[in-house]
Structure 1
Amino acid sequence: MHIQSIQQINKPKQEFKQERKITGYRGFAAGLLLTLMLAIAAKYLAMLPFLNMMGQLVLAILLGVILRAVAGVPERTATGIQFSAKKLLRAGIILLGLRLNLHDIIQAGPKVLAIAVIHIVVTLVAVYMLIRAMKIDRKLGILTACGTAICGAAAVAAVAPQIKANDNEIAVSAATVAVLGTIFTLAYVAAYPLLGLSEAGYGIFAGATLHEVAHVIAASAPVGQQAADLAVIVKLTRVALLAPVALGLGLWENRRLRSQSAAADNTESSNSGISNTQRNFPVPWFIGGFLLMSGVNTVGILPERLTADLLVLAYVLLAMAMAGLGLGIDLKTFGRLGRKPFAAGLAGSLLLSLLGYVLIHVMGLK
């Protein structure tokens, strides 16, 4: 009798735990489905005039921000949304490596590579100096600098885990770079007749200085096919430098954190027998995957159709991640954080454009 009564007491508890587990799974699935729906909506919106300059990734962030502001986000969906923002982000970055064909970059010549390297280095340094001068949050500024210098929202997403940036910093930086890129794209198209550049020269200029791949295509396509082809090749040369920049920033952030807590780390390491370098060395596995996929595309292992489909999947995963970030952003926080990074990004973008124009003339590529 006693045993039977205990079983009767435990039965509701077990049922409650089981019910909570099922509810958790449903909430996870709902969060995942919500980010997928926003990603698909962003993909189709990105096909519309003007919005195509913003691109699917940024539109996914904006849709997430708007949905949260207008309707709110159910708490039970948090786990699925976070999974998209964190895990799917890395998967998307890995597949994004399939965009790169290293043969095309090599064939473009050393001048194109030199322009890409100079632009990235100068922009990163200049924007970081502005960050310090304007007393902007360091991580927010670094993400804005990388998005401006390399490849917009994708660069922000790839660098963020390396410097341990939070969701607010990622979303604000990605949106800032997207708005700046859209403004400069419109300005480039309007200014083309006044620049005195050939079609090829303008393509190199656009690819070397604009932010997102979408911006590069939008700015170069109206000029001609040669401009568009060269612009994309130069842009992808900058994208190829994403991996070493992200790795370098990860090492730098790791070294900075070690130096801040050197005394505590030394004590702990001596007790555990593990060196600081072994314990704190960043492992950017997704960057390694990005490079691996680039090698796969260069060698031509995969059929072209499959590669194209995987790239579509890459952008869906990245858009889901961006939507997840947007769903975690409060508009008040966005407004508070975004002003100074926008000013620093604007200054960096102007410098990038001016430097690109000068280098094209100096290197005889006009």
Structure 2
Amino acid sequence: MKSLPLPLSHTQKPIRWHVAQGLLLTLLIALAARWLSELSWLAVVGQLVIAMLLGMLCRTFVGVKEQWQAGISFSSKRLLRLGIILLGMRLNLGDMLRMGPSLLVIAIINVAFTLIIVYTLARWLKTSETLSLLTACGTAICGAAAVAAIAPQLKAKEEEIALSAAIVALLGTLFTIGYTLLYPLLGLAPGSYGIFAGATLHEVAHVVAAAAPGGQAAVDLAVMVKLTRVAMLVPVAIIIGFWSQRTQRQRAGAHLHFHPQPKSNWRSLPIPWFIGGFLLMSAIHTTGIVPTAIANDLVWLAYLFIAMAMAGLGLNVQWAHFRHLGARPLMASLIGSLLLAGLGYTLVSWLGISAF
């Protein structure tokens, strides 16, 4: 006798409910991280890293049901891309152009220098290629958001993403405290100090906190320079995509006597299309057609989605893997951060930049 299909209530509804449960878990963690990040002593760490750490703690002490994985995976992959796209609402391309070429030059030099130094040091210290690139991008561009945006290009493991984000957060926090203490001794005008902070620190939260002793003008300049570095995420992601695809083809060809070339089409291009969405949202924001209040709400939503993604990431990371990968990329990022601070201070001092 032919069996009848099970009704919707016995098949699809439980599956959808489990997906919803996984999404709800990441949402609750992201909201808790948002609340914690508003505490003065945790603000410098930032919502994204706190969400990842809360996810790791939840997995360790509470546990995660297997049926929740679909919803958690949806957060860590799909919502991540959507969050990166919406984050473009924070970037005004016109403001960057009006600030003159000097800031763009500083951003390009600092990003390129840090990428090369951190990656080279990490590889010299026998760190994996993927972990080296993730740590370099997080240090050079914009912390955890850069790590999350670059990771799909490299097909990175979740523990590699988590470790890279945590390293950047730890060092960024330490350097923020150091900048604040050293501000009276640096001999920089408030505007120059703001540019120095924005050109060398890791997360936007770090930049704002470190520039605060210089006053509001220093903070404004620091954020603008930082967002210029954030804009470097687009070309860097595209370059890494092409480089990663070429490396994979070379490795595949090394194991085969005959390796036919795959057919080329626009879908096969190693361009992270969600980064294209980020740039499109930046262009829309630049036109001014989106009211400031709505743009701010979209940025808030972007960070919520990315925090849900980081929570999902943390929910799939085991502390044992985290400890195993540890000290070498941390050392590479530390040395790279110190050299970046020295380079940034030198550039600001030589160019005599204070305001635009």
- TM-score (structure 1 length as normaliser): 0.93
Residue 242 of structure 1 corresponds to which residue in structure 2? 233
Moved more, 105-114 or 316-325: 105-114
Q: Which residue number in structure 2 is paired with residue 116 of structure 1? A: 107
Deviation string for 1:86-131 (max 9, x for gaps)?
Answer: 0000000000111110111112211111110000001000111101
Residue identity in the other structure for 2:335:
A
For residues 266 and 288 of structure 1, what CA distance do their matches in structure 2 show?
37
Name which of 34, 49, 60 aligns with 2:25.
34
Give the drift of 1:21: 3.0
Distance 1:105 1:268 in 2: 46
Alpha-carbon distance between aligned partners in 1 of 2:168 and 2:7, rounded to the nearest angstrom: 47
Deviation of the 1:165 alpha carbon:
0.9
Q: Is the 8 A contact 2:253 2:259 kept in 1?
A: no
The answer to whether the 8 Å contact 1:269/1:276 transfers is no
Q: Which residue number corresponds to residue 324 of structure 1?
A: 312
Identity of aligned residues (%): 53
Give the direction of change, closer, same or farther, for the CA distance of 1:283–1:365 in structure 2 (3 Å limit): closer
Distance 2:9 2:20 in 1: 17
Partner of 1:171: 162
Match of 1:128 in 2: 119
Partner of 1:261, secondary structure, is helix
> What TM-score do the two structures reach when normalised by structure 2?
0.95
Q: Distance in 2 between matches of 1:365 and 1:279?
A: 43
Q: Equivalent residues in 2 for 1:347-366 (5 A)?
A: 347-365=335-353
Q: Which residue of 2 aligns with 1:160?
A: 151
Matched-pair contact (CA < 8 Å) for 2:191–2:214: no
| CA distance in 2: counterparts of 1:283 and 1:133, whole angstroms | 28
1:89 aligns with 2:72: no
Q: How does 1:34-53 map to 2 (within 5 A)?
A: 34-53=25-44
Tell me if structure 2 keeps the 8 A contact 1:265–1:276.
no
Pick one of 273, 296, 304 that aligns with 2:284. Answer: 296
Superposition deviation, residue 293 in structure 1: 0.3
Amino acid at match of 1:109: G
- For residue 16 of structure 1, report the CA deviation from its aligned partner: 8.5
Deviation at 1:180, TM superposition (A): 0.6
Is the aligned partner of 1:256 residue 2:244? Answer: no
Q: How many Å apart are 1:349 and its aligned residue?
A: 0.6
More displaced stretch, 22-31 vs 150-159: 22-31
Partner amino acid for 2:231?
A
Kindly state the Cα deviation for residue 336 of structure 1 after the two structures are TM-superposed: 1.0
Equivalent of residue 56 in structure 1, options 41, 47, 61? 47
Flag the 1:266–1:231 CA change in 2: closer, same or farther, 3 A. farther
1:141, CA displacement in angstroms?
A: 1.1
Q: Which amino acid aligns with 1:116?
A: A
Measured after TM superposition, the shift of residue 171 of structure 1 is: 1.0
Preserved CA contact (<8 Å) 1:46 1:56: yes
Per-residue CA deviation, residues 296-335 of structure 1 (Å, 9 max, x unaligned), is 0111121111111111110000000000000001111111
User: Are the equivalent residues in 2 in contact too, given 1:266–1:276 (CA < 8 A)?
Assistant: no
Task: Confirm or deny: 8 A CA contact 1:254 1:280 kept in the other structure.
Answer: no
Q: Which AA in structure 1 matches 2:334?
A: L
8 Å Cα contact 2:45/2:169 also seen in 1: yes
Is the aligned partner of 1:191 residue 2:175?
A: no
SS of 1:174's equivalent? helix
Please say if residues 176 and 342 of structure 1, whose CA atoms lie closer than 8 Å, have aligned partners that are also in contact: yes
Does residue 145 of structure 1 match 2:136? yes
Q: Quote the residue 2:206 is aligned against.
A: 215
Contact 1:86-1:321 within 8 A present in 2 as well? yes
Rounded Cα–Cα distance in structure 1 between residues aligned with 2:266 and 2:101: 37
Which has the larger displacement, 259-268 or 171-180? 259-268
Distance between the aligned counterparts of 2:271 and 2:95, measured in 1? 29
Aligned match of 1:338 = 326
Task: Report SS of the residue matched to 2:214.
Answer: coil
Deviations 1:2-21 (A, max 9, x none): xxxx36xx35xx44986243
- Per the alignment, residue 3 of structure 1 pairs with none
How many Å apart are 1:74 and its aligned residue?
Answer: 1.0
- Alpha-carbon separation, structure 1, partners of 2:38 and 2:319: 26
Contact 2:183/2:213, CA 8 A, preserved across alignment: no
Cα distance between partner residues in 1 of 2:133 and 2:8 = 44
